Structure 1
Amino acid sequence: METLFRSLPNVLFCIKDRDRRYVAANDALVAATLKKTVTEVLNRRATEVFPEMLAAGYEQQDDEVFQRGVNIEDRLEMITRADCDVGWFVSHKAPIRSRSGEVIALASISRDLEIRADDGQELGAVKEALDTLHRDYSKPLRIGELAEKTSMSASQFERRINKITGLSPRQLLTKLRIDAAATKLRETDLSVGQIAIDTGFYDQAALTRKFREVTGLTPARYRQATTSL
């Protein structure tokens, strides 16, 4: 996996163990820490190689992955660059599991949006909107209200979200709800109707319609297929 990301200059890649220490890192991540070699990064924590205030946020995300075993997607955050500047990145983290299902490590990639922190003040508001979508997807969120809180027009807000995630705000919200529903279908015995309510859908019919549209399966068929694996 490390080889795949080694030569990408604008994508930071790493793997961390349960002690939050780097066990793999590509050249771009090493450059972002302002270290000269990967050996200066390996077996250290983010708090040892990045500015402490920034690193605290990275490790908070790590805790979420290790404690809850969940993926983290489309998180806006500020990271140092090789030129000593600080810029905006969009990050994704995923748990790495043992054969028994225990989370033993995490893999992380962060893509440089090529926007300096000082030049992207509005991204702070977009970050809050993205955090709200990820945190409160089960609530009756209104995309227009989220756009208003960023002081952007609806079209500007949509372009920003699309640039970061590749999806419109509404598509992202639907994805988050479908992902959450799929997890509950795999990992719980809750009824489809209850899962619909818990993940922000109006009712079971609404979940079934959207779930089939996205996955090609009804929730019941998806549950049956995944539990038989």
Structure 2
Amino acid sequence: MAKQPQSQPVKQEAFFAAISNPIDLLQLFEFLPEVYHYVKDSEGRYMRANRVVCRVVGVESDKEMIGRTDFDFFPPAIAAQYIDEDRRVIESKRPLSDQIWLVPNIKGVPEIYLCNKVPLFDATRRVIGIAGVKRPYRQSIELGSQHGRLMKVVEFVAMHFQDPISVAELAEQVTLSESQLYREFAAQFGITPSCYIREVRIGISRHLLETDEHSMAQIASHCGFCDQSHFSRQFKQSTGMTPLQYRKRFKSH
């Protein structure tokens, strides 16, 4: 029986080092719907972003993002959270896996995403930046599982955010007690059900402030807040800006 020719040892590092333009590999992320991909340097400046990220921040291509930071595109409180997480990856020199983030969809409704980040090293093993991806949480679960049950709560809030919603009502949707729902929801998503209701309303109000001319009172009413004063307090607590400041900064022209 003829002997099979022995294959040569695969030299992975040499193969990738031979690629003339490593950025070509990142083009694959342009074909993943709903998946966010970005690369930043150690100062938090964008070096690359796929079309999903560009759409969310309102630019035509990542050329408009290169050299800019999250503070150029997001409210201060939210940008600070993104950058703090990046710094943890840089300082620890270790990947961060499946962190929960609330990411607004095209209507402003915050959806639950899983975020993974890895540090990027130079030849001397110095961290020079990070690369990250975010993917929809619903793509990573089985609907019959405990996590699928919690997603029914998420979907209920998205459909009924304009109405008064109690935790008791949410618990009833998935046949849990209030305390059970609090424990399971907070353990899985790092946020209580009542805080999630607030963040959904804030996310939709951000979208309205960016895209239309409704008054603050109208937006407060549409998003399920008790009154304009309550809306303003909750909005500033979440974003670090008043609704008026946010509209002046992010309103589309």
TM-score of the two chains, using structure 1 as the length reference: 0.51
Deviation at residue 110 of structure 1 after TM alignment: 4.4
Question: Aligned-pair distance for 1:154?
Answer: 1.4
After superposition, the Cα gap between the structure-2 partners of 1:210 and 1:160, relative to the gap in structure 1 and judged at 3 Å, is: same
Whole-Å separation in 2 of the counterparts to 1:222 and 1:114: 33
Query: Rg: which structure is higher?
Result: 2
Q: Distance in 2 between the 1:162 and 1:195 partners?
A: 28
Code of the residue aligned with 2:251 in structure 1: it is: T
| Partner of residue 202, structure 1 | 226
Q: CA deviation at 1:165?
A: 2.3
Q: Is the 8 A contact 2:108 2:207 kept in 1?
A: no
CA contact (8 A) 1:73 1:91 kept: no
Q: 1:207 to 1:131 in 2, by over 3 A?
A: same
Letter of the 2:207 counterpart: T
Letter in 2 for 1:109: R
The change in CA–CA distance for 1:191 and 1:109 in structure 2 (over 3 A counts) is same
1:220, CA displacement in angstroms? 1.0
Q: Is the 8 A contact 1:125 1:149 kept in 2?
A: no
Matching residue of 1:211: 235
Q: 1:109 aligns with which of 127, 135, 139?
A: 135
Aligned counterparts of 2:234 and 2:197: Cα–Cα separation in 1: 12
1:175 to 189, 199, 204: 199
Give me the identity figure in percent. Answer: 24
Runs of 4+ in 1 over 6 A off after TM superposition: 112-118
Instruction: Give, in whole Å, the separation in 2 of the partners of 1:156 and 1:171.
Output: 16
- Is residue 2:183 matched to residue 1:159? yes
Tell me how far apart the structure 2 counterparts of residues 161 and 190 of structure 1 sit (CA, whole Å).
33
Deviation, 1:127, is: 2.5
Would the alpha carbon gap of residues 112 and 200 (structure 1) be closer, same or farther in structure 2, given more than 3 Å must change?
Answer: closer
TM-score (norm 2): 0.46
C-alpha separation in 2, matches of 1:16 and 1:135? 29
* Change in CA separation of 1:143 and 1:215 when aligned onto 2, cut-off 3 Å: same
Q: What residue in structure 2 maps to residue 73 of structure 1?
A: 111
How many residues end up aligned between the 2 structures?
A: 144
Instruction: Flag structure 2 segments of 5+ consecutive residues without an equivalent.
Output: 1-21, 38-104, 116-132
Question: What value does the CA root-mean-square deviation take over the aligned residues?
Answer: 3.9
